[in-house]
């Protein structure tokens, strides 16, 4: 499905038609937003593959499979950024949302201004969910506990999404100090494609930067020193 290159494609996924309609009405205020509503009668991942949205607003109850869907979206479509909208996310919900590699987790009652600003920040490559963690000490402690012991590889593996073979190949070049341009020349693909892959790697590993991504991948056994 083709669209204006300047349009930001946003898919709304939620079991409540009234909520979907309200979010759509809010987002349609922005002329550069193209809204795609999820058809509940069709497979969600197939719809995402067909439309390739830039943003998925996952407004499902986190206790009813929403997190698993969010995790699957990030895993299969790393260029699509997931923003979770929950009725009233608890600290545990926030921690689980982090593990899906969602870029943000907001209350369903959030203001229109905050929702639109969060979407634009996500499009700029930011991770508003990090701020949510920092303002919730108990969630921050859970995250730190996951990474505190470098020997707990299983715990680390549970908090990141697996890398594809191509992503591992690119990360190996990153670990060797190669720039995006150098990697592009070595693999005979465009520099922009490399940038997209690196962005996906950082998201999947919940890494702050390239060096952090290399460390996490080594801990998970995906790279060797």
Res 211: pLDDT: 79
pTM of the model: 0.63
Quickly name the fold that domain 149-219 has. Arc Repressor Mutant, subunit A (1.10.10)
Res 3: pLDDT: 46
Residues of the chain falling short of pLDDT 50? 1-3, 150-151, 153-155
Quickly name the fold that domain 8-136 has. Rossmann fold (3.40.50)
Domain boundaries, the chain: 8-136, 149-219
Q: Which of 3, 18, 89, 19 is nearest to 54 (CA)?
A: 3
């Amino acid at each position: 499905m083709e669209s204006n290159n300047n349009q930001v494609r946003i898919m709304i996924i939620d079991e409540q038609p009234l909520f979907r309609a309200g979010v759509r009405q809010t987002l349609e205020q922005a002329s550069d937003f193209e809204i795609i509503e999820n058809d509940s009668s069709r497979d969600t991942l197939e719809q995402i593959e067909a439309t390739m949205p830039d943003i998925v607003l996952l407004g499902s109850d986190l206790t009813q499979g929403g997190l698993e869907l969010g995790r699957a979206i990030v895993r299969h479509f790393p260029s699509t950024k997931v923003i979770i909208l929950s009725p009233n996310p608890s600290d545990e919900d926030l921690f689980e949302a982090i593990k899906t590699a969602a870029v943000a987790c907001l209350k369903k009652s959030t203001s229109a201004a905050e929702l639109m600003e969060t979407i634009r920040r996500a499009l700029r490559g930011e991770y508003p969910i990090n701020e949510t963690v920092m303002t919730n000490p108990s969630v921050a402690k859970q995250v730190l506990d996951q990474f505190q012991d470098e020997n707990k590889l299983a715990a680390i593996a549970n908090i990141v999404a697996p890398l594809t073979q191509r992503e591992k190949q690119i990360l190996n070049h990153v670990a060797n100090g190669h720039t995006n341009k150098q990697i592009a020349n070595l693999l005979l693909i465009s520099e922009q494609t490399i940038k997209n892959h690196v962005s996906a790697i950082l998201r999947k590993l919940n890494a702050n930067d390239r060096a952090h991504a290399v460390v996490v991948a080594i801990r998970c056994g995906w790279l060797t020193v």
